[in-house]
């Protein structure tokens, strides 16, 4: 395990150099990794493990769209694709990748198959951290750990196919066998992580829920909408408002930040842009910090988790979700974005 300096703080990091795929394969050679759930994270993690030579099976309900997707992805019914209970019985490592609400519903079934020595694997600290709300309390004689890729399952798979890796966090909640550390790191490498950094279940879910509601999704949509609306109200066209709000950020500036950092991106913009950004960033920080403090408190006190459980467990959840997503999709900003994306050179059909 390497110790790296992150802005003045030393942290433990696991890299592929010190824990190569060959070592992960050796650690997992006698394991049967059962991926339960084939929705958001399931496909990417299962396929990456499969391609990395891990004995992975998928547990899913027969006759569902996700069952059919697993077949189209190369999993074979009766060989590497099974009904959930059969997969739970066969698996020595249970990758519990259902949604948080679905994890709560299926937990009694999962728990009865957690025989001594097995491992329960999460990609989110939700179920364990908020156990008073979820009821997920594992038996004492199984390993419990998580690997949380810092991105969607789609990104995890895409980067794997490109020969890259998505960074992931890992945490051990319970080491019943004495092998939990080797098991979790091996699985982290096997699912396609570029590197792994240490955390614990509570920190993972607190940071994750804050991030999703904050800069990763909730905040950025709110900021996009605010700037777009101001530009439109001041006479700018939809295409101009969208390009200055979203397109330039996502297509030009964020890739530069990802490559070399915000300071490098600032240094490689016009002097006018530099001056404006340096003058205004602290004002935006000061304006939004109270909102982030309110958000973190809501996460830490269990308010956000309870909202999620209550909402996502309702029978009409999917219909209400579709209606909210439709509102976003049909807004002028994202309709303008649809046209802008179609005009990108890579999306143009060029006549021979």
Q: How far apart are CA 277 and CA 143, in angstroms?
A: 48
Task: Verify whether residue 236 is a known catalytic residue.
Answer: no
Is 239 annotated to bind a ligand? Reply is: no
Is 331 annotated to bind a ligand? Reply is: no
Q: Which of 118, 124, 157, 232 is catalytic?
A: 124
Is 244 annotated to bind a ligand? Reply is: yes
Give exposure, 333-343, as e/b (b: 16+ Cβ within 10 Å): bbebbeebbee
Is 182 annotated to bind a ligand? Reply is: no
Token digits for 127? 């179920």
Is 351 annotated to bind a ligand? Reply is: no
Q: Summarize the annotated binding site for Mg(2+) as residue ranges.
A: 208, 212, 244, 248
- As annotated, the binding site includes 208, 212, 244, 248, 270
Q: Which residues are catalytically annotated? A: 124
Annotated binding site for substrate: 270
């Amino acid at each position: 395990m390497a110790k790296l300096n992150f802005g003045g703080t030393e942290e433990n990091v696991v890299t592929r150099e010190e824990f190569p795929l060959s070592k992960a394969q050796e650690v997992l050679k006698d394991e049967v990794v059962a991926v339960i759930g084939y929705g958001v994270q399931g496909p990417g993690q299962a396929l990456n493990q499969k391609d990395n030579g891990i004995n992975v099976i998928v547990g899913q309900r027969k006759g569902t769209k996700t069952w059919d997707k697993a077949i189209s992805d190369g999993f074979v019914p009766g060989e590497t694709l099974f009904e959930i209970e059969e997969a739970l019985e066969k698996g020595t490592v249970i990758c519990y990748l259902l949604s948080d609400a679905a994890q709560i519903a299926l937990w009694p079934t999962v728990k009865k198959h957690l025989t001594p020595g097995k491992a329960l694997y999460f990609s989110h600290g939700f179920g364990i951290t908020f156990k008073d709300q979820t009821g997920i309390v594992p038996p004492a004689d199984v390993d419990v750990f998580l690997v949380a890729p810092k991105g969607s399952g789609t990104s995890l798979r895409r980067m794997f196919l490109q020969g890259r890796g998505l960074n992931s966090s890992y945490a051990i909640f319970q080491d019943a066998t004495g092998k939990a550390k080797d098991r979790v790191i091996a699985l982290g490498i096997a699912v396609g992580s570029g590197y792994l950094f240490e955390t614990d279940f509570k920190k993972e879910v607190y940071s994750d829920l804050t991030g999703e509601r904050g800069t990763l999704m909730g905040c950025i949509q709110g900021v996009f909408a605010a700037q777009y609306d101001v530009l439109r109200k001041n006479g700018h066209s939809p295409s101009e408002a969208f390009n200055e709000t979203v397109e330039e950020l996502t297509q030009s500036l964020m890739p530069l930040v990802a490559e070399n950092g915000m300071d490098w991106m600032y240094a490689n913009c016009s002097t006018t842009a530099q001056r404006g950004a340096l003058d205004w960033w602290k004002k935006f920080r000061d304006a939004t910090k109270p909102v982030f403090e309110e958000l973190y408190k809501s996460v830490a006190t269990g308010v956000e988790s309870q909202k999620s459980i209550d909402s996502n467990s309702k029978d009409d959840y999917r219909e209400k979700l579709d209606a909210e997503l439709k509102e976003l999709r049909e807004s002028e900003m994202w309709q303008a974005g649809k046209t802008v994306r179609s005009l990108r050179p890579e999306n143009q059909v060029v006549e021979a």
